[in-house]
Amino acid sequence: MVKIPYGAGLIDVDIKGAELLERSTTKRDDKRDSKDASEVIQRAVKNPIGTKQLGEILAAKGKGDNIVIVVDDHTRNAPTEMMLDALAEEIGQHKDKNVSLLVACGTHPPPSTGDLRRILGKYYRHNHSQFKVMIHDCDAHDLVYVGTTARGTPVRLNRAYMDADIRILTGDITLHYYAGFGGGRKSILPGIASRETIRKNHALLIDERARTANIEDNPVHLDMSEAASFAPPDFVLNTVADASGDVVAAYAGELNAVFTKGAAVAKELFLHKTGLFDVLVVSAGGFPKDRNLYQATKAIQNCYQAVVPGGGLILVAECREGIGDDYFEEWMNEYKSYEAVEEAIRTNFVLGGHKAFYMRKVMKRVQLSIVSELDPDMLVRWGIQSYKPKSLSAAVEMELKDRYKDNKDNDNLKIGIVRNGLDTLLVPKE
């Protein structure tokens, strides 16, 4: 019996002969309790790479300086409160500093009060004595132009960040399906950038080098890095967590040094070389990773290449908030093939439309099914088989039945299960 994450709970499924695809954490002794994770983060802050200690940076500034700490929004699962604890220990020695927490939403909808309490913990108080919370708005009228990248992206950034005397970035370094990895420079672009800046950058994703776990010659990553160099932070704190959310590493200091170290650890942690499967069951990893289809599709992108052409991929994602983006839904309705949506991306790129591009790309290779709370009629119109959570076993049986037609020997059919698709990159063995 395998327990598969779905929303805030688990689905029990018993699939005969299925192979569970996930990296063992015991090999690296990565399992840590919250106290250990806190110590890992604090150690990173006290031993930065490429910069002086944060306390020295603060001491070098005059009295009454404004500090802006950029934090991940509600679509991420970073240990933000623990990171703020470590930073607050350094900042607490400088009571004269005014500190703002800037939530990096990119183009995402703003977080709710409940989201903010989950993200910030004790640091979310309406009348906190030292910490003020701000939400980035990518359409704000006062965004600051800082330059244009070599790839033609005009960079406009959050006013509060630009006006700060001391800028600090926090976040987690994870797999990202066209930037290579999250974390580091992504806190700036897309995190606190304008909609047009984000749109121009994301339009670079059609390049084949813009793919998961790749930053070498990746135009999206390079464009983001150049944009960040126009308004670099004074200090960065990034963590790397395994698929269970346990912090396995943390790095602090200079932006590029921190990102390079963290990305190397993330690649080792999440990349899984494997054979090909006839049917692959992929969970996005539960809430908040499967809060909507917009977020959950990253799991498909990470895993679909491990399915034989014409095979079946079953995404398990609650999607309690629905599709998650109007343009994503609109483009899936309008463009019925990969070729059609690819042409639309090239001629009229729209944020959200890129999700349809990736979805249709996957569907060109495999038969896609989704176990979710989404409208089944809508999914069927898109060419996707729809199932409810209690029907996961039936979904697998149906996919296997389809494979029987071409394979008389059932024992030769390979089935795989991925419990945390957003944090697992399947790479077929050559």
pLDDT-based confidence at 411, cuts 50/70/90? low
- CA dist., res. 392 & res. 316, Å (int): 8
Q: Which residues contact 2 (CB under 8 A, 6 or more apart)?
A: 12, 13, 14, 15, 18, 20, 417, 419
Is the model more confident about 189 or about 411? 189
Judge whether 419 and 4 are in contact, CB under 8 Å.
Answer: yes
pLDDT at 5: 95
Q: In b/e form, how buried is each residue of 143-158, taking b as 16+ CB within 10 angstroms?
A: bbebeebeeebebbbb
pLDDT at 200: 95
Return the percentage of the chain with pLDDT > 90, whole number. Answer: 76
pLDDT at 62: 65
**What domains sit in the chain, N to C, each tagged with a CATH number?**
2-24+275-428 (3.90.226.30), 31-269 (3.40.50.11440)
Q: Are strands 144-148 and 154-157 parallel, antiparallel or unpaired?
A: antiparallel
pLDDT, one tens digit per residue, over 392-401 is 888 888 888 7
Amino acid at 245: G
Cα–Cα nearest to 174, from 253, 248, 282: 248
In the predicted structure, residue 166 carries a pLDDT above the cut 70: yes
Average pLDDT over residues 375-383: 97
- Give residue for tokens 């309490």: 117
pLDDT at 406: 60
pLDDT at 127: 46
pLDDT, one tens digit per residue, over 211-232 is 999 999 999 999 999 999 999 9
Cα–Cα nearest to 111, from 161, 141, 162, 72: 72
Judge whether 265 and 240 are in contact, CB under 8 Å.
Answer: yes
Cα–Cα nearest to 179, from 214, 206, 145, 147: 214
pLDDT at 32: 44
Average pLDDT over residues 107-133: 83
pLDDT at 130: 65
Q: In residues, how long is the chain?
A: 430
pLDDT-based confidence at 95, cuts 50/70/90? low
pLDDT, one tens digit per residue, over 17-42 is 899 998 654 334 344 445 589 999 99
Average pLDDT over residues 137-147: 98
Q: In b/e form, how buried is each residue of 413-429, taking b as 16+ CB within 10 angstroms?
A: bbbbbbbbbbbbbbeee
pLDDT at 346: 87
Helix, strand, coil share of the chain (percent; to 5): 40, 25, 35
pLDDT at 157: 98
Q: Which two tokens stand for residue 224?
A: 């983001």
Average pLDDT over residues 295-320: 95
pLDDT at 98: 85
Averaged pLDDT score across all residues of the chain: 90
pLDDT at 405: 64
Which long-range CB contacts under 8 A does 323-329 form with residues at least 24 apart?
323/292, 323/293, 323/294, 323/374, 324/291, 324/292, 324/293, 324/294, 324/295, 325/292, 325/294, 325/351, 325/352, 325/355, 326/352, 327/351, 327/352, 327/353, 328/293, 328/294, 328/352, 328/353, 328/355, 328/356
* Most confident region among 61-75, 107-121, 122-136, 251-265 by mean pLDDT: 251-265
- CA dist., res. 384 & res. 11, Å (int): 21
Average pLDDT over residues 264-283: 94
DSSP 8-state secondary structure symbol assigned to residue 309: E
Average pLDDT over residues 240-269: 94
